[in-house]
Structure 1
Amino acid sequence: MKDVPVNNILLFRSCLVSVEYPGIEASTKFVFDKLGIDYAISEKQTCCTGLGHYSDVFNQIDTSAIGARNFKIACELGRPNLVMMCATCYAINKKSVKLLNKKEDLRNHINQLFDDNGLFHLKYEKDDLKPTENIFHVVDVLYANKNEIKNHIKYDLSDYKIATHHGCHYCKVHYEDTIGGVRDPNIMDELVECCGCKTIGWYDHKRATCGTGFRQRYSNPDLSFTATADKMNAIDDEDVDILVHLCPNCHIQFDRYQHLISKMEGKNFKAIHLNIAQFIALAMGGDFDKVIGVKAHTVPIDSIIEELKEVSK
């Protein structure tokens, strides 16, 4: 397993997390605090360009330049270990670091852009950050601390039938850096087990996309939602109560559109959708509103909340 930092972490904020599911960020902070993870957030950090990049609004040079700026901010703060709450931020930033370190012409071009705009202190040097030593997803940090997670569990969620969805941009972009396998991804399954639960493990369409494809949700909705329906039918066949994932874009596709897919398929899909940080925070006793952020969800998770409230009385 690769070395994963527990110190000098810059928790990289995600546009989709902040706008759609702020409970993911609150849950991540809650769990990190419980585990004693040293992290900070910077107001200077900007978007990774994810949605724009994958919709061809931002080209690779623009994306790498924005990445280089964020990387220098992290270095200046003495927090060179960037940890992402979003799989797309993870994939894009890791690629940008690889390109900046490997391609001298790109690095020089971007540094010249900084100079031309009076940003002399932002000059990116080769190996300021390294893709395998400084760029991580939250699940990497959680997995490195999985034995400690067990010591903070308050609620028993083992009666729920749980499945995981690992997301393309974590498992299918940087294969060599993915913990827990790519052909049968299981890093989140193991994290769920640390909370005293079992997942259903492998299921039909476990490795399949959520269907978003960024632009596909809007430009080819029939194709997009057909792929999502495949996934939802697969977990419905297994009687899944909770689908756990690690990407806010996947979260949007499943949670915001489950009612639409239900109508399209002529059945009532019942799965509840939680980010892995939310799931662990829930098991640790995080406040339903202030930490988990349940009011931001389209598919209600009232069934879990009511049962846990009864247990906590």
Structure 2
Amino acid sequence: MKSIPDKNILLFRSCLVSVEYPGVEASTKFVFDKLGIGYKISEKQTCCTGLGYYSDVFDQIDTTAIGARNFKIAKELDCPNLVMMCATCYAINKKSVKLLNKKDDLREHINRLFDENGLSHLKYEKDDLKPTENIFHVIDILYGKKDEMKNHIKYDLSDYTIATHHGCHYCKVHYEDTIGGVRDPNIMDEIIEECGCKTIGWYDHKRATCGTGFRQRYSNPELSFTATADKMNAIEDEDVDILVHLCPNCHIQFDRYQDLISKREGRKFKAIHLNIAQFIALAMGGDFDKVIGAKAHTVPIDSIITELKEVSK
């Protein structure tokens, strides 16, 4: 398994997390602090271009150039380990590092652009970063610390029926770097178990997409919501209370549109939706509003979690 850092981390901020579910960032910081993970945040860091890139607004050159800029910022902070709260940021930044290291013509072209615009200090040298040693998702860092989680658990969430959704951009873009398998992904299931809970494990459509498809949600909603309905029907068949995921786009698709799809399907879906960092933060005693960010959720968290039971010591 790849070496997982716990220091010199640039926690890469996500547009969708900040705008839609700020509790994901607050929860990530809360859990990292509990586990002694060393990280910084930079105001100079910019968007990875994910939404624009996958909607054909940004081309690969622009996206890679923006990545190169962010990578240099991380190096200057002595935080060469970039850790993403968003699976799209993870997929895009890892690809950008791979391209900058392998494609000499692309790297030289981007460095010329920097030179021409007075940004020579941002130039990327080959192998400045390595995709498997410096680019991570938050879930990777949490996995590296999973054995320590039980020491910080305050609340027992084991009475709830829990399922996981690992998402496409963590499991289906960089297969070789995915911890916990890609055919039956289980990295979140293993981490949740360290919090004193069991998930349902495999279920119908576990590996399927959330249905977002970026532009598909808007340009082809029938296809998009059909895929989402498949997932929601599957977890309702299993009587799931909490669906845990690791991508803000998946979070939006499930949480914001659950009532719409419930009406479309003529079936009441009850599950609430939590990012893995929110789930762990909740188990560790994070405040519902200040840490978990419960008020940002469309499906109320307290529609399922009506009270918290402390872990027996």
Q: Aligning the two structures, in what range does the TM-score lie when normalised by the shorter sequence?
A: over 0.9
Q: Tell me what 1:255 maps to.
A: 255
Q: Render the CA deviation track for 1:9-58: whole Å, top value 9, x for unaligned.
A: 00000000000000000000000000000000000000000000000000
Partners of 2:116 and 2:305 lie apart in 1 by 54
Q: Tell me what 1:227 maps to.
A: 227
Partners of 1:258 and 1:169 lie apart in 2 by 21
Q: Tell me what 2:173 maps to.
A: 173
Q: Tell me what 2:195 maps to.
A: 195
Matches within 5 A, 1:4-153: 4-153=4-153
What percent of counterpart residues are identical? Answer: 87
Instruction: Assess if the C-alpha contact under 8 Å between 1:74 and 1:82 holds in 2.
Output: yes
Q: Render the CA deviation track for 1:127-177: whole Å, top value 9, x for unaligned.
A: 000000000000000000000111100000000000000000000000000
Partners of 1:304 and 1:37 lie apart in 2 by 31
Under a length normalisation based on structure 1, what TM-score does the superposition of the two structures give?
A: 0.98
Which letter does structure 1 place at the counterpart of 2:248? P
Partner SS, residue 164 of structure 1:
strand
Q: Tell me what 1:287 maps to.
A: 287
CA RMSD of aligned residues (A): 0.9
Which letter does structure 1 place at the counterpart of 2:46? T
Partner SS, residue 274 of structure 1:
strand
Partners of 1:12 and 1:284 lie apart in 2 by 23
Partners of 2:229 and 2:19 lie apart in 1 by 25
Partner SS, residue 133 of structure 1:
helix
Cα displacement (A) at 1:120: 1.1
**What are the ranges of 5 or more consecutive residues in structure 2 without an aligned counterpart?**
none
Partners of 2:11 and 2:304 lie apart in 1 by 28
Instruction: Assess if the C-alpha contact under 8 Å between 1:262 and 1:268 holds in 2.
Output: yes
Instruction: Assess if the C-alpha contact under 8 Å between 1:288 and 1:305 holds in 2.
Output: no
Cα displacement (A) at 1:306: 3.1
Partner SS, residue 257 of structure 1:
helix
Cα displacement (A) at 1:208: 0.1
Distance 1:134 1:220, change over 3 A: same
Partner SS, residue 89 of structure 1:
helix
Q: Render the CA deviation track for 1:256-309: whole Å, top value 9, x for unaligned.
A: 00000000000110000000000000000000000000000000011455311x
Partners of 1:7 and 1:32 lie apart in 2 by 10
Instruction: Assess if the C-alpha contact under 8 Å between 1:171 and 1:182 holds in 2.
Output: yes
Under a length normalisation based on structure 2, what TM-score does the superposition of the two structures give?
A: 0.98
Which letter does structure 2 place at the counterpart of 1:76? E
Which letter does structure 2 place at the counterpart of 1:224? S
Cα displacement (A) at 1:102: 0.2
Partners of 2:40 and 2:50 lie apart in 1 by 22
Partner SS, residue 298 of structure 1:
coil
**What are the ranges of 5 or more consecutive residues in structure 1 without an aligned counterpart?**
none
Partners of 1:136 and 1:230 lie apart in 2 by 29
Which letter does structure 2 place at the counterpart of 1:296? A
Which letter does structure 2 place at the counterpart of 1:51? L
Partners of 2:113 and 2:216 lie apart in 1 by 33
Which letter does structure 2 place at the counterpart of 1:73? I
Q: Render the CA deviation track for 1:48-106: whole Å, top value 9, x for unaligned.
A: 00000000000000000000000000001110000000000000000000000000000
Which letter does structure 2 place at the counterpart of 1:112? R
Q: Tell me what 1:298 maps to.
A: 298
Partners of 2:121 and 2:264 lie apart in 1 by 54
Which letter does structure 1 place at the counterpart of 2:227? A
Partner SS, residue 109 of structure 1:
helix
Instruction: Assess if the C-alpha contact under 8 Å between 2:80 and 2:129 holds in 1.
Output: yes
